[in-house]
Amino acid sequence: MGITAVGLQVLLGLLAVVALVASVWAWPLLGGRTWRSVLGRVGVLAGNQVLTLVALGLVANAYFGFYGSWSDLLGTDDAAAPPIVTGGGQPAASGRPGHGVTEVGQVALPPGTAGRLEQVVIPGGETGISSPGYVYLPREYFEKKYAERRFPVILALTGYPGDARNLITRLNLPATASRAVTAKRMPPTIMVLMRPTVVPPRDTECVDVPGGPQVETYFTRDLRAAVAATYRTGLDAQSWGVFGGSTGGYCALKMSMRHPEAFSAAVSLSGYFRTAIDMTTGDLFGGSARLRDENDLMWRLRNLPIPPVSVLVTSSEKGESDYADTRAFLALARDPMRAASLILPSGGHNFNTWNREIPQVLPWLGNQLHTPARSTETAAGGHAVRRGRK
């Protein structure tokens, strides 16, 4: 019986209730002072608690979609992901200037990963937001033959609340990119690794909040200007892509669709399509139904001009709560948007599932981007990086 099966949830719930009733009946029989009676009481209490927790855990897992199968839970589900498919169903071939990035220090890369990883703080000249993260520079960035070369950039975002280091230690993005570049599966690409929670603890859903933090502007304008002022990148949308999981996936899709002048391509791992509103977000739209609709990606596809961007969305037939919405999104996508998908037979909302998808989706994103035109100019008004001591 599958981990998300309703029958299993009902069975464990009934067992928990029966065990509780049985323990009430048996308790007087275990009232003695012998060691057997003491062990019996401890066993009854422990058994009731374990059954109750397992039953609640199964219900919570089915609701939130953390794990789609027993092998997913145990981390043994390493089946290869199916091919990425295009919208047609066939396998796809493989503002105001900001300030410069402040480098905090160099971070060790996993063994065998070529390139350099820098821990940085990225300030926003327009929004006043400042947020930490990491910048991965591929090996080619430092090679003599690429000395005049500018590189495309992928902005990678975690979920909420997220920890940017998980993109390195749990999702292995620099290592995966390094292997893909070595295998000629994607071009050398800079990656900016961050979490979308730039004004913690609030979950802004990457929204420009009326009278509040302008997070969308920070990512689509400030961050791009700061990175271009510090590293050999461009500012044209064709050389910038955005990637994210869960909340980061929603942010990636939304920012590319709302700002095709900033990002020309996006990947959403298990992302959703409408702004989440709860106690962690507060009022993100100032009561404006118009702003709420404009941040609803389904509404945008039905009611606004389709943006000329490339997007890839992932989900699982079993284990992900967003599967039906993902199919609905793909059905609405049309020219000039180019939509692709990677749908697993089974997989929950977790790192294990995403690690099965990333070896395909990261090269896909890298191959959507163009190398910026060669130029010796920096972003207008940008400042050079201030490097700290190592």
Percent of the chain predicted with pLDDT > 90: 65
Contacts of 308 (CB under 8 A, 6+ apart): 260, 264, 336, 337
Could you read off the pLDDT of 56-99 as tens digits, one per residue? 766 665 544 444 455 545 544 455 555 544 454 333 333 334 46
User: Residue 377's pLDDT is what?
Assistant: 42
pTM reported for the whole predicted model = 0.76
Could you read off the pLDDT of 16-42 as tens digits, one per residue? 788 777 777 776 766 677 777 777 777
User: Residue 299's pLDDT is what?
Assistant: 98
Count the alpha carbons within 13 Å of 65 in the hemisphere toward its beta carbon: 18
Contacts of 52 (CB under 8 A, 6+ apart): 16, 20
